[in-house]
Amino acid sequence: MADQKGWLVSSGSASEFVQDICDSLPVSGVGGSSRPQWLAESGQMDGDNGKALLVGVPKLCPKWTKAVKAAASGSYERWFGDGTYVVSSKMPSAEELSEGEGLPILPGTYRAQGRMEDCYWERTSKGGDILDNSFATSAQSITVTIAPSDGQFTSERCAVWKPVK
């Protein structure tokens, strides 16, 4: 179908590209991103790549169909690893991110779970003042609520932060 439509994928044939993504998805969330987030924010869904994935994934690795559809729609859970994130009520486009706008995080309640040692997190104001912070020498679960008025959220040596539903 990709050949018939004239789709050009980033590497090899469309089926090779889709198979590579199928093989990559099981470990893609390891770095702190949900699978749809990894697909969308790494550029895997851009242009003809996204078209090939929407058609090919249901055939080659159907268990990842939901992740691909979520990435295509832009409606997916965003997870966060270590780093400093700018609190924003809207997620910037891939272009804005590439222009150095800073890593965004939506206001809300997040939980990091798993064995954590020497985990440090802090919420700061837009002016850089520390609003709240904590250092856990050993923890299995930490919950933080990031307010819309916060400026930044920083996490070091913690598990992946996921939204609390």
pLDDT of residue 13: 86
**80-108: average pLDDT:** 73
Per DSSP bridges, beta strands 83-87 and 104-105 are parallel
**19-25: average pLDDT:** 90
Nearest to 71 by CA among 104, 100, 43, 107: 43
The residue extents of the domains of the chain are: 2-73, 83-163
**62-89: average pLDDT:** 90
pLDDT of residue 99: 47
Condensed to tens digits (0 to 9), the pLDDT of residues 125-151 reads 999 999 999 999 999 999 999 999 999
